[in-house]
Each structure stands twice: as structure tokens, then as C-alpha cells.
Amino acid sequence: MRQLIQPEEDSARRVGKQQGMEHIDAYWRAANYLSVGQIYLLDNPLLTEPLRPEHIKPRLLGHWGTTPGLNFCFAHLNRVIRERDQDMIYICGPGHGGPGAVAHAWLEGSYSERYPDVSQDAEGMRRLFRQFSFPGGIPSHAAPETPGSIHEGGELGYALAHAYGAAFDNPELVVACIVGDGEAETGPLAASWHSNKFLDRRRDGVVLPILHLNGYKIANPTVLARIPTDELIKLVEGYGYRPHLVGPDHAEMAGTLDAAFEQIAAYKAGDADRLPMIILRTPKGWTGPREVDGKPVEGTWRSHQVPLAKVRENPTHLGMLEEWMRSYRPEELFGSEGRPVREIRETVPRGTRRMSANPHANGGELLEPLRLPDFRRTAVEVKSPASQSSEPTRVLGGWLRDVIAANPATFRLLGPDETASNRLSDVFEVTDRAWNAELLPTDENLGAGGRVMEVLSEHLCQGWLEGYLLTGRHGLFNCYEAFIHIIDAMFNQHAKWLESSQKIPWRRPVASLTYLLSSHVWRQDHNGFSHQDPGFLDVVINKKASVVRVYLPPDANTLLSVADHCLRSRDYVNVIVAGKQPVLDLFTMEEAIAHNTRGLGILPWASTDDGTEPDVVLACAGDVPTLETLAAAALLREHLPELKVRVINVVDLMRLQPATEHPHGMSDAEFDTLFTVDKPVIFDFHGYPSLIHQLTYRRHGHGNIHVRGYKEEGTTTTPFDMAMLNDIDRYHLVMDVIDRVPGLGSRQAHLRQRMSDERLRARQYTRDHGEDPAEIRTWTWQAAFSS
């Protein structure tokens, strides 16, 4: 390993001298030229005339600083691809390098294939420049619009997790992953280095991390650029990699990459235990203006965005820009018609070996549907509704076991160490947890190649799964409901990626990202307040209707059917909330399929309206609210037998929205028929009540919808006490009915008082005995009428 060249000593000026590197250098200069052009130019792309202010964009929006280093990596990786016929994709953590990513796709020809208007000639180059970060054009970061990218460069931190996700089950693939030294400070990235403990030498591909130390973030030095080199080396050795330090020099980079790929080959052959990674130190804004207005720019944070900020107004800046662009000698790089010269074209791999055209980076091209076993075979037998209980996720686990068995290389189940806790353990009958670190004799269900991925990092689970899905595979993320908020921001970014991708014809649909949220708010009574939060649904529903789906199956059979539906879907984010604790079985499998197909429906056996207009509607969504609603319906049947009660269960939350707002939305006519326009609706909901109001506020009967849900009351207590703390319990629902149905309040004050007393009695029992009263614990619909 060699010492780094200090940034002061190196420069573009040393570049290109090395024997055999001229063509790579030409490619690199071309990519740099195209990057600068995108940031600055409206016109005169080939500098066929002196630059004038009107050639310059009025708003200069883009990021130069990271780009030349990224271009340098790309140029050199291309040589490796050609020489080794290597299947490789490129994940660029510093998404600010958008102009570079676009430049490569254009140089490789794939940009013009995807966007024929942006042809590989002078007019195409003009359009390429103009569209960048321009209204009606393309984003300034790597984005779905960028050929060859599966990684949005907006929010930072997820590059390495995406890279590993792409490498899993792609044994021939190398994923080159540039980690910016800014991004390296984020939590998700810091955790991602350990992904190598989950990589299987035989079944998975390889990630080659390239830590790009250009030294600065927006306005600050980076931590990793300013710790002693020996500490940095120890750090990455501690992460389990063999580091290679390389400075800004073509020959060095080429030699280092050759060594790294030899090590990768040795690893794949079983001759080495540790994979390489590269630490590339370059100046930030390398080859850009050294100094502007008397201040150093190249090699400092000042080159982060636009090194010359006043080009239109300031003739000196304009002159410097022209000098800068001409320093790449465009006349050597592009023919008079603007096409890259042959020497450059020849550095580029062919066809799908081009990283900008590799199908792994447009995973829908490779996607094959899962072989899904018939979930009906896993169904729970239900003889009469709500008379027996099952653990829904445990039942689901049986089906997921069969999914895994039938799809041994294209499906993974992810979770932060909660697969067993969420009662999906049946999957371990056919697979292990992926594990590539030390094994002990006492270990169970642990081994290389396991389909279950457990790491105590929701970020890693999410990032791995995103990478896995975007490269054309399938998966499911199971998580405690409260802690899924940890990846709110990652969900946002992925949903935005999907929203954008849906509008890009060449982006083929990928498998949906499906969450199974279990150990949910109502059954975290034992873990307490910190584990109680159903608010992820609120985050999800803010995203576009074209992308998000939310399901709250109330029992095991509906869960099975929903899960099957979700794993067949494309380009969505599906959220399934389902408990792991026993809940009443409500539906036979055929009924469950019919109920899910409608997305919601009346439970006729629990209703007393006999198909006529009811006096009150009891609606519910979520397993615990459904149980409480049924118990309330039973109480009403017992105490107010003349009251016409309609019980509605909602599985598909999006059905509540107007059809104009969501593709699953009901027409007003349907909604009115079900919920009435003027009768009180007591809606017992799994999450925060405001969400139901949000979904229904345009409905005619909205003023009559009274929602119970989680109102941020919780502690370590019993399940029924949790329900009571938040007023979603059966007794309170009956009280709500009495309060809301005209006339009942005065006539049924006695019943209301009795319900209130029942609550106090239940609470006192709980305080005295540490568990819920037996009649609550063992309540079933049948029991309600057999006592």
C-alpha cells in the first residue's frame, strides 16, 4: 500500500502521461467537459465560437465538486469491464454527481437510445446541456431518469445498502459503489459496511466500495478525510475489507483496480476471505478553477456546487469558464459533428455491458413473476365466524415458507431480528438466516445463503430490499410497527423513485416493496409507550395514490390473501398491518378472498340491520379494533336488540378515499350505500383517528363519522387496558353509540353508566391481577351468546 499523494502535489496536469492511459484520459476529459457544459451552457456546446453571456443558463444549478472524481472512477471501471467482460453496475452515492452520470450515458450511447431527441451529435449535446437542471428538463441528481442508475442521489446514506441489495443472488455481478465521504458520515452508510457479513460467496455477487475522499461536504471538511490514514485503514479493515489507497493518478487507479479484481477472483474461487475496497483521494472540484476571486476553489468546499457563480454578469468569470472548458481540449474529444471520437468510443463497453445500459439497473427488464404457491392450501378452516382464534402472522409464515421454497433465488424475507418474534418461524423449515460470520455449535437457522436477512438495522433491511427489488427480484420486509418510522425518509425516497419511474416508459415495472408491520401498537402492551406508534400509515398516505396501498387484514385468512396480492403487484409500496397475537378467525378462505376483493364489506352475521337502513354503523379497520367492534355489536345485540346495527370491516384503507383521489377509491354512491349519508358511523381504527377523517372528509356523511383510534395513550399494561386507555374498547363503543344515535342518550343513560362501570371494573381487575379479566381474554362471538 502506498502513501497518498497530497492534493497539493497532484493535479490534472500529471494526468495522461502514463503509457496506455491516453484513451481513458480522453474519455475522462470528455465526461468532465460534458459535466461542466450541463451545469453552465444553454448553447454553443462545442465552443465553436467564443462564449457569450447568452450561452449561459440564467440559473446555475448543479454540483461540480464531486463530479470529476466520479468520472475518473467510471472511466477506469469501463476498462475493467472490457478487459474482463465483467458484468458490472455502478451505484453512485454522491448523487450530486448527476451531470457525470448523464455524461456517461451519453458517451456510451445509451442516453440517445433512451432519449432519441438527445442524439450523440452537436445538436444532441446542446439539448443535453440545456435540459440539465432546467425547467421541463432533468433533475440535477442521479434519478430514475438517468440510464444505468438504481440510486437516487437526493438524500444521502443508502448507496452501499443498495449496492449489497443488488449483489445478493447475482453471483456474476460486481456492483461498484462510490461512497462519498460526506455520505459516509450518515448512520445508514456507517452501518452498511458490515453488509459483507451477510454475503454468500457462492450465491451472491460482489460489492466493490470506492470511498471517494474529496475532503469536503457542502461547507465543511469530512471526518474520514481528516483522520489519520492509519486510523482510516484500520477502520475499513475493521469493517472486514482489504483497503487500497489510491491518489488522483490514472496509472495508480488502473493498477489498483487490477489488483482489486484479482482479489475478487480469488475470493470467488475460495482463495481469499476478505474482499477489497478502494480509498480514492482526489481534490474536490478536481480540474476545475484553482482559484476564483482570490479564493482557492479546487481542493476546497468552494467547488461543491458552481465554482464560477456569476458567469453571465462577470466577464472574468465568463473567460475563466471558457478557459476551463477548453482545458479539456474538446476539439480532440468530439468530431466536428459533435460525436465522441473513435478513441473514446472504443473505451466504452458494448451493449448491455455498458453500465448505463446494464439491465440490472433497470430491474424490471429482468423481473420474473414469483412462483406463488396456492395460499388457499395454507388457509385456516373456519366453521363459524369469530368462534376460534389463530395467530395471523404464524399462518402467513407457513405460506412464506412455501414461497421461499418455490423461489430459492429471487425472494428474500428481511427484518430487524424480528422474524421469529413476529411468528414467521415456519420459514426456517426451508431456509436459514443469511450469515457469513463465525458460527457456533449452539446456533440455529443460521448459514450462508439463507433467504432470511436479519440485522438490527431497519435502514439496512430497507436499503438491501430496495436494491434487491430495483434489480428485478422480490421480497418482504417484516418489522415492528413503531420502529418502521426509522425508515420514513427511505420510504419517502423510494416512493418518489417509483412515482417518477412510472412516468418513464423505458423503466420497466419492478416488484412492489411490501411491508408487514406486526407487533403493532395494540399489542405492545408489554413493551410500553416507546413501542406504540401507528403513524407510519400517515407518512405513507401522503405519497401519490399511484404508488401506495395500505391493508389491515383482520384475520389469518384475509392476511394470506392480501399477502398473495401484494407479492404479485408491481411498482407499489404495500403496507400490511397484521398482528402476531391470536385473533378471531372471521372468514373462510373463500369469504376472505371476496372480502379482500371488495376491500371492505358488511359482516352480515354481526349486523342487525337485515339489509335495511341501519340506525348506526360500526366500522372497523385493524384486528384489535375489529375484535372490539364485534364485542360492541354483541353488547348492543344483547342490550338494545331493537337497534339496527351494521358492522363494516375495512381491509383496504384506500377504498375509503373518493375514486377521484385513489384508483382503489369507492364512488360516492357505493360509499353512501354502505355507510349511509346521515346515520352515525362509529369507526374503530387501528391508527391515529385523523387518518380516517383525512380519507373520508369529502364524503357526504363525513360529519357523522366519529373515529376512535390511537390517541397517544400508552404504557406497559395489558392489551385490553391499552384499548381502554385510548377509548377504542367495546364498552366505549357502546357508549359512543348511545351518545350518537338520536334519542338513545336519554333513554339509555342506565346502559351507558353500566358500560362505564364495566370499564372501571376491568381496569381495577387488571391493576389487581396483572392481566385482563378472563371474560375479556376468552371472548368470542360464540361465547357472547352462550353465557
Could you say which residues in the range 501-530 bind a second copy, by CB under 8 A? Answer: 526-530
Among 13, 49, 58, 383, binds a second copy (CB under 8 A): 58
Q: How far is the CB of 388 from a second copy (least distance, A)?
A: 22
Q: Single out the residue of 319, 305, 348 nearest to residue 35, CA to CA.
A: 305
Per-residue H/E/C for 616-659: EEEEEECHHHHHHHHHHHHHHHHHCCCCCEEEEEECEHHHHCEC
- Candidate residues 384, 542, 597, 778; the one interacting with a second copy per rule CB under 8 A: 542
Applying CB under 8 A, the site for a second copy has a residue count of: 121
* Nearer CB in complex with a second copy: 287/493: 493
**Maximum Cα–Cα distance across the chain:** 98
Do 193 and 177 touch, CB atoms closer than 8 A?
Answer: no
What SS3 state is found at 176?
strand
Contacts of 527 (CB under 8 A, 6+ apart): 716
Q: Is 771 in the site for a second copy (CB under 8 A)?
A: yes
User: Which residue, 113, 202, 206, 227, is CA-closest to 163?
Assistant: 206
Is-contact 406 430, C-beta < 8 A? no
Question: Per the structure block, which three cell numbers stand in for 59?
Answer: 440559473
CA distances from 442 to 129, 198, 445, 446, 476 (A): 61, 19, 10, 10, 28
Are 659 and 667 contacting, i.e. CB atoms less than 8 angstroms apart?
Answer: yes
Residues in CB range of 727: below 8 A, 6 or more apart = 708, 711
Distance, first Cα to last Cα, the chain: 81
- Window 640-679: residues binding a second copy (CB under 8 A): none
Separation between Cα atoms, residue 286 and residue 323, nearest integer Å: 15
Segment 549-588, which members bind a second copy (CB under 8 A)? Answer: none
Per-residue contact flags (x/-) with a second copy for residues 207 to 246, judged by CB under 8 A: ----------xxxxxxx--xxx--xxxxxxxxxx------
Minimum distance, C-beta of residue 290 to a second copy, in the bound complex (Å): 12
Residue 524 and residue 532: Cα distance in Å, rounded?
Answer: 6
Residue 82 CB: number of other CB atoms within 10 A? 15
Taking the complex as a whole, the smallest distance from the CB of residue 574 to a second copy amounts, in Å, to 18
Please choose, out of 117-125, 314-322, 734-742, 768-776, the segment that lies near a second copy by the rule CB under 8 A.
Answer: 768-776
Query: Least Å distance between CB 168 and a second copy?
Result: 17
The stretch among 368-376, 388-396, 477-485, 641-649 that binds a second copy (CB under 8 A) is 477-485
Report 587-626 residues binding a second copy (CB under 8 A): none
| Shortest distance (Å) from residue 7 CB to a second copy | 9
Where does residue 347 rank: exposed (0-12), middle (13-18), buried (19+ CB within 10 A)?
buried
Alpha helices in 645-714 (DSSP H): 668-675, 690-696
- Rule CB under 8 A: say whether 482 interacts with a second copy: yes
Candidates 29-37, 189-197, 260-268, 374-382; binding stretch for a second copy (CB under 8 A): 189-197
Neighbours of 660 (CB within 10 A): 10
Alpha carbon distance 662, 676 (integer Å): 21
Q: Is 11 in the site for a second copy (CB under 8 A)?
A: no
- Shortest Å distance, C-beta 526 to a second copy: 4
CA dist list (Å): 393 to 559, 562, 574: 8, 12, 16
438 interacts with a second copy by CB under 8 A: yes
The sign one gets for the Cα dihedral 675, 677, 683, 685 is positive
Q: Mark 241-280 with x for binding to a second copy (rule: CB under 8 A) and - for no binding.
A: ----------------------------------------
The verdict on 281 binding a second copy (CB under 8 A) reads no
Select the residue interacting with a second copy from 16, 137, 599, 658 (CB under 8 A): 137
CB of 561 to a second copy, least distance (A): 28
When binding is defined by CB under 8 A, the residue of 44, 358, 378, 457 that contacts a second copy is 457
User: Nearer Cβ to a second copy, position 527 or 588?
Assistant: 527
Task: Note whether 215 and 221 are within 8 A (CB).
Answer: yes
Residues 719 to 738 in contact with a second copy, rule: CB under 8 A: 721
Q: Interface with a second copy includes 10 (CB under 8 A)? A: no
Taking the CB of residue 22, how many other CB atoms lie within 10 A of it? 14
- 334 or 710, CB closer to a second copy? 710
Exposure of 195 by Cβ count < 10 A (0-12 exposed, 13-18 middle, 19+ buried)? buried
- Selected from 57, 126, 662, 699, the binder of a second copy by CB under 8 A is 57
Q: Which of 104, 141, 162, 360 binds a second copy (CB under 8 A)?
A: 141
Question: Please, what is the minimum distance in Å from the beta carbon of residue 638 to a second copy?
Answer: 27
Residues 370-399 that bind a second copy (CB under 8 A): none
DSSP element (H, E) containing 4: none
E strands of 138-263, at which residues? 173-180, 206-213, 241-246
Nearer to a second copy, 363 or 535 (CB): 535
Q: How far is the CB of 208 from a second copy (least distance, A)?
A: 19
Q: Which of residues 396-435 bind a second copy (CB under 8 A)?
A: 417-421, 433, 435
CB of 697 to a second copy, least distance (A): 5
Which member of 339, 376, 485, 639 binds a second copy (CB under 8 A)?
485
**Choices 169-177, 191-199, 392-400, 579-587 (CB under 8 A): range interacting with a second copy:** 191-199
Supply the minimum distance, in Å, between the C-beta of residue 148 and a second copy. 18
Under rule CB under 8 A, residue 152 binds a second copy: yes
Out of 101, 264, 486, 621, point to the residue binding a second copy (CB under 8 A): 486
Span near a second copy by CB under 8 A; candidates 359-367, 466-474, 668-676, 766-774: 766-774
**DSSP class of 194:** G
* Residue of the chain from 84, 543, 598, 639 that contacts a second copy (CB under 8 A): 543
Phi, psi dihedrals of residue 713, rounded to the nearest 5°: -115, 125
Comparison of 184 and 396: residue with beta carbon closer to a second copy: 184
CB of 377 to a second copy, least distance (A): 27
In our burial notation (b when 16+ CB lie closer than 10 A, e otherwise), range 527-558 reads eeeebbbbbbbebbbebebebbbbbbbbbbbb
User: Cβ 721 to a second copy, closest distance in Å?
Assistant: 6
Distance of alpha carbon 88 from the chain centroid: 22
Write down the least CB distance from residue 51 to a second copy, Å.
17
Closer by beta carbon to a second copy, 333 or else 490? 490
Residue 24 contacts by C-beta under 8 Å, 6 or more apart in sequence?
75, 76, 78, 79, 250, 254, 347
The single residue among 374, 750, 767, 775 that binds a second copy, judged by CB under 8 A, is 767
C-alpha angle 174/175/180, rounded to 5°? 145
Using CB under 8 A as the binding rule, the residues of this chain from 294 to 353 that contact a second copy are: 296, 299-300
Which of the ranges 465-473, 625-633, 744-752, 759-767 carries the binding residues for a second copy, by CB under 8 A?
759-767
Between 209 and 554, name the residue whose CB sits nearer to a second copy.
209
Q: How many CA atoms lie within 13 A of 687 on its CB side?
A: 25
Concatenated DSSP letters of 479-510: EETGGGGGGHHHHHHHHHHHHHHTT-TTS---
Instruction: Answer yes or no whether residue 165 interacts with a second copy by CB under 8 A.
Output: no
Residue from 202, 612, 770, 786 binding a second copy (CB under 8 A) = 770
147 binds a second copy (CB under 8 A): no
Which residues 14-43 are close enough to bind a second copy by CB under 8 A? 42
Work out how close the CB of 443 gets to a second copy at its nearest, in angstroms, rounded to a whole number. 7
Could you tell me the smallest distance in angstroms from the CB atom of residue 198 to a second copy? 9
What lies within 8 Å, CB to CB, of 131 at 6+ separation is 118, 137, 138
